[in-house]
A and B are shown apart, each in its own frame.
Chain A
Amino acid sequence: GAGVSQTPSNKVTEKGKYVELRCDPISGHTALYWYRQSLGQGPEFLIYFQGTGAADDSGLPNDRFFAVRPEGSVSTLKIQRTERGDSAVYLCASSLNRGPGANVLTFGAGSRLTVL
């Protein structure tokens, strides 16, 4: 597609529920990133995919969070047993991965998750 697409744009859920957030990256971008921005903070790294595999998942806060990218394109971030502290804007980004560290990331508009 023309840009990085994220759905849903807004999600309100109740504490304890399961949530899935979807990211459709730019066609041909092999690298895909998930970030989370909580109120008053900068975006916080969650996980990075190179192709289908998670190259770095060190930012996932606990085992309630999981992400997949089964065909190396669309990715889904899954959050089990949601807590109020999970409320944030979840950003997805993709890049051509031309080299470590200097990749320009193209971001989606984010999915705003509110846990009541």
Chain B
Amino acid sequence: ILNVEQSPQSLHVQEGDSTNFTCSFPSSNFYALHWYRWETAKSPEALFVMTLNGDEKKKGRISATLNTKEGYSYLYIKGSQPEDSATYLCANSYNTDKLIFGTGTRLQVFP
């Protein structure tokens, strides 16, 4: 079963706090790990795609790391802002074009 699990399910932080969340996945047959951000009433937006063990990617205050041997990825947000409030989804592709999504981490940043 290709389960992708995300934790925590939801997170509330104050503006300026740094935060991180986890995506876990079976490490066998891994191909690529995707992170998407989905703001309410908008389209999910691609953040990162990572394929190699040890990959680290950064986009502004958001960064992600990948460990394919143990089957996890972390997403970090430094100095959270209210506009970072969204659901963060991770997904695995397992060498197909069928992305298997986790249930997401819902982040709320309070001013």
Footprint of B on A, CB under 8 Å? Answer: 3-4, 31, 33, 35, 40-45, 48, 50, 55-56, 58-59, 91, 93, 97, 100-110
The distance in angstroms between the C-alpha atoms of A35 and B93, with both chains bound, is 14
**Interface size, chain B (Cβ < 8 Å):** 28
**Cβ A91 vs Cβ B97 within 8 A:** no
Contacts of B62 in A (CB 8 A): none
Sample of 18 further A-B pairs with CB below 8 A, known A4-B43, A105-B44: A42-B103, A42-B104, A43-B89, A44-B101, A45-B100, A48-B97, A59-B98, A93-B44, A100-B31, A101-B32, A102-B49, A102-B51, A103-B93, A103-B97, A104-B46, A104-B49, A109-B41, A110-B43
A97–B97 Cα gap in the complex (Å)? Answer: 9
Q: Which residues of A contact B49 (CB under 8 A)?
A: 102, 104
A104 to B46, CA, bound (A): 7
**Are A100's CB and B97's CB within 8 A?**
yes
Q: Which residues of B contact A101 (CB under 8 A)?
A: 31-32, 51, 93-97
Q: Is there an interface contact between B32 and A102, defined as CB atoms closer than 8 Å?
A: yes
- Is A109 in contact with B32, judged by CB distance below 8 angstroms? no
Chain B residues with CB under 8 Å of A40's CB are 103
Tell me which residues across on chain A come within 8 A of B4, comparing CB atoms.
42
Give the docked Cα–Cα distance between A105 and B43 (Å): 11
Question: A59: which B residues are within 8 A, CB to CB?
Answer: 98
Task: Give chain B residues whose Cβ lies under 8 Å from the Cβ of A106.
Answer: 43, 46
- Do A100 and B96 touch (CB < 8 A)? yes
Chain B residue at minimal CB-CB distance from A95: B97
